[in-house]
């Protein structure tokens, strides 16, 4: 297991449409393990493969699926726990119901909270870490997490959702910070660039 460096905007990998995974093998399982470790360490509640520099349709979320449903229940404040881990390969949203507004953050878009309209409930089909098909319903906050992560697989980020003026101001601010701390190149790639 390894903690992977996280790419930040405006790095171009975050705007790519990720490729579907053709075989769920040990390479994919190792990536899932590393992504989970990276997410819990950040800490974050979800992570998509493009955020660690891999343009493939793979996500992890700090969300439990109980009896086919991902829905917040009492006692779930312990959401960073590894008992709350969902790993999805090639996830597809096959049903959407209702709407809600949610103030979202993103590990690849630091220091930003941005309100997004999401479906209140969704049904997802995907493959699990063994390549077996799974299908479940997600509601509320947990539905928001999956919609946010699946957006990453289609190259959509909170940064891309901002208007051009707001985006320019935001970028100026983060790039100033990057020059100061030197942890990242101007385009958001981790330093030193992996690979
Ligand atoms: Ni994100």
Distance 44 CA to ligand 1 centre (A): 9
Query: Can you spell out the DSSP letters for the chain?
Result: --PPPPP-TT-GGGGSPPBPPS---HHHHHHHHHHHHHHHHTT-SEEEGGGGT--BSEEEES---BTTEE---TTTT-TTSTTS-EEEEEEEEEEEE--EEEEEEETTEEEEEEEEEE-SEEEEEEE-TTS-EEEEEEEHHHHHHHHHHHHHHTT--HHHHS-HHHHHHHHHHHHHHHHHH-SB-TTS-BSSPP-
Looking at the predicted structure, is the pLDDT value of residue 74 above 90? no
> For residue 51, is pLDDT > 70?
yes
Percent with pLDDT over 70 in the chain: 95
Question: Cα dihedral sign for 118, 123, 127, 128?
Answer: positive
What confidence category does residue 39 fall into, taking pLDDT thresholds of 50, 70 and 90? very high
pLDDT per residue as tens digits for the range 118-160: 999 999 999 999 999 999 999 999 999 999 999 999 999 999 9
Does the pLDDT value for residue 78 go beyond 80?
Answer: no
Q: From the CA of 187, how far away is ligand 1's center (Å)?
A: 17
Cα of 148 vs centre of ligand 1, distance in Å, is 6
CA–CA dist 11, 70 (Å, integer): 31
Q: Print burial letters for 92-117: b (CB count within 10 Å at least 16), e (below 16).
A: ebeeeeeeeebebebbbbbebebebe
Q: How are beta strands 133-139 and 69-70 bridged, if at all?
A: parallel
Q: Is the pLDDT of residue 194 over 70?
A: no
pLDDT of 82 > 80? The answer is: no
Q: Which burial class, exposed, middle or buried, applies to 82 when counting CB atoms under 10 A from its CB (0-12, 13-18, 19+)?
A: exposed
- The model's pTM is 0.94
In this prediction, residue 192 carries a pLDDT of 67
155 C-alpha vs ligand 1 centroid, how far in Å? 10
User: Averaged over 103-123, what is the pLDDT?
Assistant: 97
Locate tokens 């100033």: which residue?
176
pLDDT for 17-38, tens place per residue? Answer: 999 999 999 999 999 999 999 9
- For the question of residue 149 being annotated catalytic, the response is yes
Residue 178 has pLDDT above 80, yes or no: yes
Q: Contact at 8 Å (CB) between 99 and 118? A: yes
Q: What is the mean pLDDT of the chain?
A: 93
Cβ burial, residue 158 (10 Å; 0-12/13-18/19+): buried
Q: Are 138 and 122 in contact (CB under 8 A)?
A: yes
Between the CA of 8 and the centroid of ligand 1 the distance, in Å, is: 9
Of 15-19, 92-96, 188-192, the least confident: 188-192
56, 87, 139, 149: which is the annotated catalytic residue? 149
pLDDT at 77 over 80: no
């Amino acid at each position: 297991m390894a903690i992977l460096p996280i790419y930040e905007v405006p790095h171009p990998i975050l705007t790519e449409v990720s490729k579907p995974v053709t075989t769920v093998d040990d390479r994919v399982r190792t990536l899932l393990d590393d992504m989970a470790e990276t997410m819990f360490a950040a800490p974050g509640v979800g992570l998509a493969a493009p955020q660690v520099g891999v343009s493939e349709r793979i996500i992890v979320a700090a969300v439990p699926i109980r009896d086919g449903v991902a829905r917040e229940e009492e006692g779930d404040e312990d959401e960073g726990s590894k008992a709350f881990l969902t790993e999805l390969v090639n996830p597809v949203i096959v049903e959407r119901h209702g709407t809600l507004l949610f103030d979202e953050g993103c590990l690849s878009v630091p220091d930003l909270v941005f309100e997004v309209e999401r479906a209140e409930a969704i049904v997802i089909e995907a493959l699990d870490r063994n390549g077996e098909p799974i299908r479940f319903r997600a509601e509320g906050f947990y539905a928001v997490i999956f919609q946010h992560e699946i957006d990453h697989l289609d190259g959509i980020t909170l940064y891309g959702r901002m208007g051009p003026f707001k985006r320019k101001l935001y970028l100026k601010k983060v790039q100033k910070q990057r020059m100061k701390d030197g942890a990242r190149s101007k385009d958001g790639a981790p330093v030193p660039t992996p690979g």
